Amino acid sequence: MLSFLEVIDRTETGQLMSDQDYYLKLYVPELNKVINEYKIKYNPDTPLPSDDALADTVFEAAVDFFSRVGAYCPDTSRVLRFTKEEILQAASEAPSESTFGEGPDRKVMRSRKPDDHTAPWYHCGGGIYTTSEAIFMNQVEGLANIKKANSLSIPSSIYFKGKDARVRSPQEVLTTIKTVSLAREACRLAGRPGLPILNGISTATGPISMFAASHPNFGLRPSDGFLVDSLAERWWWILRHSLRLPSIPA
């Protein structure tokens, strides 16, 4: 399988391209080509299709499309290219399940296949800005009280002790840590202290805040998780993957 370090290397060795050229001259044109070549068309009369042949076609089109456009790293203005073989191998070797949470709320999130009758994972989202700690606490506690909830996205906060937490400032670091602490307290009040947080830390706008609030003593736990953008691969988003590696790559 393609190594994590090789992916990082491609953020510096890939084709040099501006973000505007990537999206307007590569991404969108190739997307239109793939849609036409594979004759993929949305049918409003069947919003949830169950056609196996269509599923196969869409999968093949997705692999073909990704092999054409790759992923874009804005930090280096490079396009990370991947062959079809690399894509298929990575997909075949990707984990099919992961465990999140603590205590009674520790559960396994599994990938679901077509016609799978197992219950889905219920993720409750609250990743929006809140204007006060009281609103933040009420929102998270309310989400945690949803019995079927398996995980949460917690809101963001732009204030710390009544003052604006400017982007990438020391105040942002403190605010980021505070939001995780408040979320833990809200889950405890709901009787679910082990409920996992899976949006990472939405208040963090950079790696310093993210790492600061990822310390298990007062931030995210190893049993929490991150949602990672899969198209524009900024370096610090790639860093989120490194937080979940079992060890430093050799």
Residues 160 and 202 in one domain: yes
- What does the mean pLDDT of the chain come to? 87
Residues 118 and 236 in one domain: yes
Domain boundary among the residues 32, 59, 93 is at: 93
249 lies in some domain: no
Which of these, 195, 225, 2, 235, lies nearest to 97 by C-alpha position? 225
Burial readout 136-162 (b: 16 or more C-beta within 10 A, e: otherwise): bbebbbebbeeeebbbbbbbbbbbbee
Q: What is the pLDDT of residue 163?
A: 73
250 lies in some domain: no
Residues 87 and 138 in one domain: no
Domain boundary among the residues 58, 77, 93 is at: 93
For residue 187, with 0-12 CB atoms within 10 Å meaning exposed, 13-18 middle and 19 or more buried, which class applies?
buried
* Residue recorded with tokens 């670091």: 173
CB 108 within 8 A of CB 99: yes
Our count of domains for the chain comes to 2
The 10s digit of each residue's pLDDT in 5-38 is: 898 899 999 999 999 999 999 999 999 999 999 9
Q: Is the pTM of this model over 0.75?
A: yes
Give the residue-averaged pLDDT of 181-195: 95
Asked if residue 184 has pLDDT above 90, the reply is: yes
Residues 184 and 214 in one domain: yes
- According to DSSP, the residues that pair with 16 across neighbouring strands are 78
Residues 86 and 109 in one domain: no
The 10s digit of each residue's pLDDT in 31-76 is: 999 999 999 999 999 998 989 999 999 999 999 999 999 999 988 9
Distance CA 73, CA 19 (A): 9
Asked if residue 248 has pLDDT above 60, the reply is: no
Residues 76 and 104 in one domain: no
Distance CA 65, CA 67 (A): 5
248 lies in some domain: no
Q: What is the pLDDT of residue 241?
A: 56
Residues 131 and 85 in one domain: no
Residues 101 and 82 in one domain: no
H or E stretch covering 129: strand 129-130
Give the angle subtended at the CA of 50 by the CAs of 47 and 51, to the nearest 5°: 115
Where in the sequence is the domain holding 67, given as residue range(s)?
Answer: 4-93
74 lies in some domain: yes
Top-confidence range, 124-138, 177-191, 221-235: 177-191
